[in-house]
Amino acid sequence: MPLSLDIVTPERRVLSVTTDEVRAPGALGGFGIRLNHEPFMTALEPGRLTYLEGGREHHYAVGGGFLQVADNKVIVLADTAEAAGDIDVSRAQKAFEDAQNRLLKLTEQDEHYATESARVKRATARLTVAGK
């Protein structure tokens, strides 16, 4: 039985493939999953999710969420997910700059700090995955 990967956002199923390996940005650090991995569930940070298929890497920017592994199935429930080739770099750059400018005006005690910090992390992930 091969390793399967499904990436789902609140809007749609983004991806459903069989793969050799999945690498993800866990809340406690990056990790990898291969065939017959022990079952577990973890929170994801905004960052690069990579899967390998026939020796070729495919990259997605995920905006946080959760990942579950069981019975050679990897399910990613992501807040957002975009393939590297689908990322609008100029839009991602503008989102990063806007969020960063708003964040710089706040203190950690401000009620909007966590929201703006998450926006900076998501935009950074998108730019990193797009290679910019």
Under 8 Å between Cβ of 68 and 75 = yes
Q: Give tens-digit pLDDT for 40-86.
A: 999 999 999 999 998 899 999 999 999 999 999 999 999 999 999 99
State in words which class domain 3-84 has: mainly beta
HSE-up of residue 62 (Cα within 13 Å, Cβ side): 31
pLDDT band for position 131 (50/70/90)? confident
Q: What does the pLDDT read at residue 89? A: 92
CATH 1.25.40 fits 88-130, yes or no: no
Q: Which residues contact 75 (CB under 8 A, 6 or more apart)?
A: 6, 8, 67, 68
* Domain extent listing, the chain: 3-84, 88-130
